[in-house]
Amino acid sequence: MRVANPSLAGRLSQYTGVGALRESRLPSPWPGPPARPVGDPLLGVRERWYMLGTSDLVGDDPVPVRALGEDLVLWRDGEGHPRLMADHCPHRGARLSIGDVVDGQLQCWYHHWRFDAGGQCMSVPSQGGACSLAARTRVEVAYPVEEQAGYLWAWMGTDSPAPLALPEEFTDPRWSTFPETVAWSANWMLGLENLVDLMHAPFLHARSITLKGGITDDRVLVTDHDDGFEVTRKNQSGVNFDWIDVHLGALPHVRLDIPLPPSAGPGPDLRIIGFLLPRDNDETLVHFPRFREVSGGERLIWRSLYRLRLRGTHLHVLNQDKVMLESMRTVEESRRDEHLAQADRPVIHLRRMLEPVFAAQRERFGLPAETPTKNVDD
Ligand code: FES
Ligand SMILES: [Fe+2]
C-alpha cells in the first residue's frame, strides 16, 4: 500500500499533490445503477464463466469492474490470487476499489475496515481492530476467479462453478496469439447476434482487406452441437467470414476464422475466439483474442506484421461493428419494428436457444416473463 510503503511517485504526489495516484484510480463519474434489475438476462446469463481481461488487469491495487450489472472490486490477496467481490464496503457503502491491499487484506479507504480474501471483515480500527462487529460483518457477494493462460476468468454465479475448460487455442503452443479488447456501448445480445450474422460481413465490411470477397446473395445454414451451434454459408466457405462456432455452455464463446490476404504473411486463416462481458444494458466489453497456427520464421513474420499493420486494420473492422451496434444500442430499441430475413435465421436460432435459459433465470430472480422470439418474415 502506498501510504505504508510509498513509491517514489507516491511520495512525490503526497508532497506536490500533482498526479495523486489514488485519485487517478477514480472513475469519473462513477457509473449509475444498472438500467435493469440485477439478474435480468439482458445483463448477462448467470452461472457461466466470463473472461474479465488479461492478467495485468489487476496488480497491487484493487480495480473496479462492472460485470452483469454489478459493481465489483477485483484485487489480489496476499498470495497474489485474484479475488472478485462487491465493490461496496459493508460499513457505510464506500467503494472498496479505491481502497488498498494491506497485508493481503482489502482495506477500505474511508475508515480502514479490512476484509480477508473471502470477504470476512477482520478489523474495525475504531473499535480496536478484531471485535465482535468485525466478526459478524462481511462483504456479501464474491465470485470465484481463475487465472489461466494469461487471462482472468470469473464464474458469475452462486452455484459451484463448472470446470473451466479453455478452448485448446489458449493452451496449445502451436497457436500464436494476441489479446484484443474493445468496449461497445450496446447490449451483449446485439454483440452476439452480430457475430452469428455471417451475412453482415460482405456489406458492412465491404471495404476491408479481409471481409470484402465472395458472393453477397447466399443462404445460411445452422447446425446444432452439444454446446451450441455452428453457422455456415450454403454456397461459400473460406472466402469471407463464412463460419462461426457458437458455444453457450459453461464458458460462452464463439470461434471463427477470417481469411488473410498474402500481405498478412504466410500461414493459415486468422482464428478469433470471442468472449462478451456484459456490463450494463447498453455496455459490453468485447474480448477478441486472435490466434494463428504458425511457427518458426512464419510466426516471427506474422507477429511483426500484426503489430505493425494488421492490428490497425482489424481494429478498423471491429470499429465498423461498434458503430453499427451502438446505433442499435439496446435489445428493446433494435427490435421495436424488426423484419427478419432468411439470413437472420442464426439470430432467431440463437434467441430460441437462449429462451429457456433466460426464462429460468428470470424465474430464479423473480423477474417477469418476456414475449417469445418471432419468426422469419420471408
Ligand atoms: S465505509 Fe468502509 S470503512 Fe467506513
Ligand atoms: Fe463484423
pLDDT per residue as tens digits for the range 341-372:
999 999 999 999 999 999 999 999 999 987 66
pLDDT, position 376? 62
pLDDT, position 209? 77
266-315 pLDDT per residue, tens: 999 999 999 999 999 999 999 999 999 999 999 999 999 999 999 999 99
SS3 sequence of 28-53:
CCCCCCCCCCCCCHHHCCCCCEEEEE
Pick the CATH number of 57-160 from 3.90.1200.10, 3.30.565.10, 2.40.50.90, 2.102.10.10: 2.102.10.10
Q: Does residue 18 have a pLDDT over 80?
A: no
Nearest CA to ligand 1 atom 4: 111
**Rg for the chain, CA atoms, rounded:** 23
Q: Does residue 203 have a pLDDT over 60?
A: yes
- 214 falls in which pLDDT band (50, 70, 90)? confident
- Point out the ligand nearest to the CA of residue 193: 2
Q: Does residue 9 have a pLDDT over 70?
A: no
Q: Does residue 182 have a pLDDT over 70?
A: yes
309 Cβ inside 6 Å of ligand 1: no
Cell numbers 490476404: residue: 261
Closest C-alpha to 67, from 191, 192, 156: 156
Closest C-alpha to 362, from 11, 36, 25: 36
pLDDT, position 169? 98
pLDDT, position 372? 64
Q: How far is the CA of 195 from the centre of ligand 2 (A)?
A: 7
pLDDT, position 210? 78
**Average pLDDT, stretch 151-161?**
98
Per-domain residue ranges of the chain? 57-160, 168-364
Q: Do domains 57-160 and 168-364 have the same CATH topology?
A: no
Q: Does residue 141 have a pLDDT over 80?
A: yes
Taking the CA of residue 124 as reference, the ligand 1 atom at the shortest distance is 3
Q: What is the DSSP letter of 301?
A: H
Question: 90 in the Ramachandran plot: left (φ > 0), alpha (ψ -120 to 50) or beta?
Answer: alpha
Taking the CA of residue 92 as reference, the ligand 1 atom at the shortest distance is 1
Q: Does residue 188 have a pLDDT over 80?
A: yes
Q: How far is the CA of 176 from the centre of ligand 2 (A)?
A: 23
pLDDT, position 56? 96
- 126 falls in which pLDDT band (50, 70, 90)? very high
**Average pLDDT, stretch 163-179?**
97
- 27 falls in which pLDDT band (50, 70, 90)? confident
Q: How far is the CA of 38 from the centre of ligand 1 (A)?
A: 24
- 3 falls in which pLDDT band (50, 70, 90)? very low
| Residues in CB range of 157: below 8 A, 6 or more apart | 46, 47, 48, 143
108 Cβ inside 6 Å of ligand 1: yes
Closest C-alpha to 348, from 192, 243, 184, 185: 192
pLDDT, position 47? 98
Nearest CA to ligand 1 atom 3: 111
Q: Which helix (H) or strand (E) holds 325?
A: helix 311-328
Q: How far is the CA of 73 from the centre of ligand 1 (A)?
A: 15
What's the sign of the alpha-carbon dihedral 290, 294, 298, 299?
positive
Pocket probe for ligand 1: among 110, 115, 131, 137, the residue whose CB has the most ligand atoms within 8 Å is 110
Pocket probe for ligand 1: among 106, 108, 114, 133, the residue whose CB has the most ligand atoms within 8 Å is 108
Beta bridge partners of 232: 221, 243
pLDDT, position 216? 87
288 vs 30: which has the higher pLDDT: 288
91 Cβ inside 6 Å of ligand 1: yes
pLDDT, position 369? 87
Nearest CA to ligand 1 atom 1: 92
Question: 65 in the Ramachandran plot: left (φ > 0), alpha (ψ -120 to 50) or beta?
Answer: beta
Q: Does residue 105 have a pLDDT over 70?
A: yes
Q: CA distances (Å), 102 to each of 27, 56, 95, 109, in order?
A: 22, 19, 16, 11
Q: Does residue 32 have a pLDDT over 50?
A: yes
Residue 372: count other Cβ atoms within 10 Å of its Cβ: 10
- 123 falls in which pLDDT band (50, 70, 90)? very high
Pocket probe for ligand 1: among 73, 85, 97, 113, the residue whose CB has the most ligand atoms within 8 Å is 113
- 211 falls in which pLDDT band (50, 70, 90)? confident
Q: How far is the CA of 318 from the centre of ligand 2 (A)?
A: 6
Distance CA 356, CA 363 (A): 10
pLDDT, position 374? 65
Share of the chain above pLDDT 70, in %: 91
Pocket probe for ligand 1: among 87, 89, 133, the residue whose CB has the most ligand atoms within 8 Å is 89
* Superfamily the domain 168-364 falls into: Naphthalene 1,2-dioxygenase Alpha Subunit; Chain A, domain 1 (3.90.380.10)
303-326 pLDDT per residue, tens: 999 999 999 999 999 999 999 999
**Average pLDDT, stretch 176-205?**
96
111 Cβ inside 6 Å of ligand 1: yes
